[in-house]
Structure 1
């Protein structure tokens, strides 16, 4: 034994009056926003949000507000080394729950949940070590909604972060809390995001600190080495057994609380509907987690460097708190505080601020009077072994291999410039989750900004669409519930022996089938969705027609929105596309858009008896409904066009070197030999068959690769915002690669064949082209374009370059001259997929136009774009270099 150990006891026994004699002298009662360290949030006094970046967090510990009231130890543990609550003033709100014989530190096989009902198999109960049963703690607020069995079905779980607890998160997010200002405003309370008039919100502690069982309760290093599974399962037992919760609508939390959200989703797929990890890590061990692991390892090494830790082998509990390895705790927090912020921000603060988190083993007058001031306070409040366990949990987990099993809806929220848990790894994790979404934001305080994420993202389309899809954000004008709606999903590991479209995808509404004939007498099987939840005999009806390469299910949000506002909505897939593909595999793989229109007319008017309806079309679907209004004018009440094809003409032939290819010649429509002779030299079908998952993700999200293989921005792409239906389309396209080969080949061929269907009926040479006949349409028209439309006009085929000057304004003028001026809206910061980039905004506009004939179209952006020509012209296509019309990817 080190002989110095005795001297520590002697020092205590002979201490002078100037030595701190009790933890209460330094206990702060902070709303400890310690996210792997010190989050900048004051507790003692609420304060206004600073206006300048440098003032957001003058220093990590400075913002902890050292003058907050001291925390009182709970009556049940008068000699506790650490407190039950991080925020003393909120301790009375916290309740404790024990789970007898709960096994800690065991193995969790997610395929066998019954094996770990009492904790991980092979784990250790605290009772077997002579301690009290495992316990956790919580604060519950809000309005429980119960089912017929009396179980709560509207719970929201808010997990605690690295060193925080239920009182910390309550202080930050609950209305009136001292931490509201730092979080950008309250989030939990009546009428707020997590509305306590609608939800039962449960803030939970995590095993290992504060009100939950922890090493410093008495076992020290004999305490079982717990893991994230234990943390989450102990709180699951609290919810299920004690609070009577049977359904969690959302599990969320920041930093380590976000990490726990991943576990909630994987462990209880039938219990939890949605998860939203904020600044969490799916892995801190192995590939993808090296930086995060290093952060924990650095902090842990600081604890282990303390001479008291070394001398006592971390068995120091017979010493007074003032003689614990407190210097190691100071070193621990200093490492985390000084690495968590954005470096430029830290450098902007000045030494007086930063020095408060600078650790020294002994006082150093060169560093100033502030040096390490806050660290001493934290050392008094935390226990070294408790932190060592928490660091160990943090550095040694990896869920990445399990993410494809995630079933609840998932939105991964991250801070773009987080220096601990890298945003690129968080985004990669989201991509591994079926339907998983990702969004982020940047902040000068980097990782510590996680607390304000929901407020920082208040205008973010991905964030808002996710909350609406989970039911957290309520619609105010719903007239009935679309009870048949279900979350659309794709099996990303499809069985190639099964039908991809019929067996490996879940569409947002039940799919029905009918057999109809076009005017050529060709018999088609058409898959469609048809929904209505009202009680009118002849309700207003909306028909949704998908774009090229898409399918009806991709418009599920729009469909649900309209259904819940009293519309009957019919969504057919075009012959050979989507769910109308498998039943037509043995057909000639060719049809014109008039064939599609005839088939739809036979279905909607002939089979379903809908004599008159509104028709909405996107991209290729826009051209389809324009032509439908010309072919069957009596059936059309009005048109909604989203980024439509059909507003430009094309030369019949395309020049490829010395070849003149008739790629827009209607005469080759049903002669596939001639069609292949025209298109095979371009190699476009094979390009689609050969696309890789990485290439698909890159293209869909406006990225390409440079010579070194790095992702760089691209002018071409589909989705500006990563919303639910953007991810559905992405997952569908990638999963098809390994799905049914005949259906994949059908899809790839049709994707290129529909380039032909677009241009074949809009040949410049044709005096009766669709384009020339558009002024004959007499019904109301709503025309919508994204201001960053990448595919229209089709520069590589017809030389047009200006969306406003070549497409929108000529169409407006021609229709106005014919007495039918269209309503036009341009959506800023949106591409070709308006209905996924801004799903709620576009859905509201569509319904408003049908109901009132009006949309909020006269915006400064629209005026500037249409009058001053500010709308961006089509991005340069690579066709100039390759002589291929690759830009026409509607």
Structure 2
């Protein structure tokens, strides 16, 4: 099978940026951990940077100037009080950016006229999360001297972008993928009155543990313990990171798909070499920080307090979040207005990274948006 990987270079933006920035009109690149699709987008967007001075992270460290890059598409619609009523926040996965979610496959499946998140109907917001894309991140210059951050920091900054920069007190919906899905779970708990509905995709409402934790620790240990890492001051991609990434990449894919596409040793060797080449284009410090940022994620204790409608989507061939654990079946009954779907995997799906092929799951986004629009009485009857 022919693979097309999206390799977009990262523009270096240092912490010493201006406190006010004009909208950015020309796209620059952002890294994607694995994106087998074209970056061409037909979605018209406005881009800009929200810059927060002396932002204090949850660990007590402060960044003198912190930038969150974002793009918006569509037109805000307002009620009689002037509040925006059609804002939808789109949250990307680890090592990616909002730019990937604006690529042609996502536009065609989700944002085009008549699609579930039609940009002529909704006001779409695409942030680059802290540590990713064109937002403030270790590779901007601080490298391993960058303060550690967590998912709660990521979500707090997303909230500040939405409420302070864009002036939107309540989101109509959030759709998040993988890390973005975990961010969506936290949004529903940390800001229960500020979002109407969330759709976490390929994520689970519980702390990272088991195999999901093991692969993260394996990759981060390979980076930190590599002599070429040099405490974060490497001059070339650390060998440990490049050699660890094929395992990361393998787990992203689905067992049925790998069984069909890796029939012999030559195909396996090509897969490994492609992954190593891809890893060499990424910044190891950025990946290290983003993987370790999941340490503070654990929405399970507060699931009963969620007010938003929740529509969770997972894939049966996802090796990061194995459905054999029965996590959604066990935990979703705690969510008052919660629903979930486990989509079966097959030889043409991609395991965890089916998330990057929205044409395979867009129908569930349509179901989610129909759920969002249901009257309270209808929703209760359906549940």
2:290 to 382, 387, 390: 390
Q: 1:206 to 1:356 in 2, by over 3 A?
A: farther
2:53 to 97, 100, 114: 100
- 2:210 is matched with 290
Q: 1:352 to 1:432 in 2, by over 3 A?
A: farther
- 2:269 is matched with 355
Is the 1:251–1:274 Cα contact (8 Å) retained in structure 2? Answer: yes
Whether 2:340 is the aligned partner of 1:441: answer: no
Q: How does 1:450-849 map to 2 (within 5 A)?
A: 450-452=355-357, 455-456=360-361, 458=363, 466-471=368-373, 487=376, 508=377, 556=378, 725=381, 727=383
Q: Report the more deviating stretch, 400-409 or 97-106.
A: 97-106
Residues 835-889 of structure 1, C-alpha deviations (whole Å, 9 max, x = no match): xxxxxxxxxxxxxxxxxxxxxxxxxxxxxxxxxxxxxxxxxxxxxxxxxxxxxxx
Following TM superposition, by how much is the alpha carbon of 1:334 offset from its aligned partner in structure 2, in angstroms? 1.0
CA distance in 2, matches of 1:453, 1:186: 6
Is the 1:334–1:375 Cα contact (8 Å) retained in structure 2? Answer: yes
Q: 1:173 to 1:63 in 2, by over 3 A?
A: closer
Residues 399-430 of structure 1, C-alpha deviations (whole Å, 9 max, x = no match): 11111111100011100221111232233332
- 2:11 is matched with 73
**Which residues of structure 1 form unaligned runs of 5+?**
1-54, 78-82, 107-122, 128-132, 176-184, 359-371, 474-484, 488-507, 509-555, 558-723, 728-890
Whether 2:331 is the aligned partner of 1:429: answer: yes
Following TM superposition, by how much is the alpha carbon of 1:151 offset from its aligned partner in structure 2, in angstroms? 3.4
Whether 2:232 is the aligned partner of 1:315: answer: yes
Q: How does 1:114-133 map to 2 (within 5 A)?
A: 123-127=60-64, 133=65
CA distance in 1, matches of 2:6, 2:355: 19
CA distance in 1, matches of 2:297, 2:280: 27
SS at match of 1:102: strand
Following TM superposition, by how much is the alpha carbon of 1:348 offset from its aligned partner in structure 2, in angstroms? 2.5
Whether 2:90 is the aligned partner of 1:158: answer: yes
CA distance in 2, matches of 1:161, 1:172: 17
Q: 1:124 to 1:306 in 2, by over 3 A?
A: same
1:271 to 194, 218, 238: 194
1:378 to 248, 255, 279: 279
Is the 2:45–2:71 Cα contact (8 Å) retained in structure 1? Answer: no
Is the 1:205–1:211 Cα contact (8 Å) retained in structure 2? Answer: yes
Q: 1:295 to 1:341 in 2, by over 3 A?
A: same
Is the 1:279–1:450 Cα contact (8 Å) retained in structure 2? Answer: yes
SS at match of 2:131: coil
- What CA RMSD, in Å, does the superposition of the two structures yield over aligned residues? 2.9
- 1:195 is matched with 118
SS at match of 1:468: helix
CA distance in 1, matches of 2:31, 2:47: 11
Q: 1:453 to 1:404 in 2, by over 3 A?
A: farther
- 1:787 is matched with none
Is the 2:202–2:321 Cα contact (8 Å) retained in structure 1? Answer: yes
Residues 197-234 of structure 1, C-alpha deviations (whole Å, 9 max, x = no match): 22101111111122111122222222222111111110
- The structure with the larger Rg is 1
Is the 1:140–1:203 Cα contact (8 Å) retained in structure 2? Answer: yes
- 2:25 is matched with none
CA distance in 2, matches of 1:65, 1:390: 19
TM-score w.r.t. structure 1 length? Answer: 0.38
CA distance in 2, matches of 1:384, 1:228: 19
CA distance in 2, matches of 1:275, 1:204: 16
Q: 1:102 to 1:75 in 2, by over 3 A?
A: closer
CA distance in 2, matches of 1:96, 1:173: 25
Is the 1:430–1:437 Cα contact (8 Å) retained in structure 2? Answer: yes
CA distance in 2, matches of 1:305, 1:75: 27
CA distance in 1, matches of 2:328, 2:218: 22
Count of residue correspondences: 357
Whether 2:242 is the aligned partner of 1:330: answer: yes
CA distance in 2, matches of 1:450, 1:65: 15
Following TM superposition, by how much is the alpha carbon of 1:726 offset from its aligned partner in structure 2, in angstroms? 5.0
Is the 2:93–2:178 Cα contact (8 Å) retained in structure 1? Answer: yes
Q: 1:332 to 1:92 in 2, by over 3 A?
A: farther
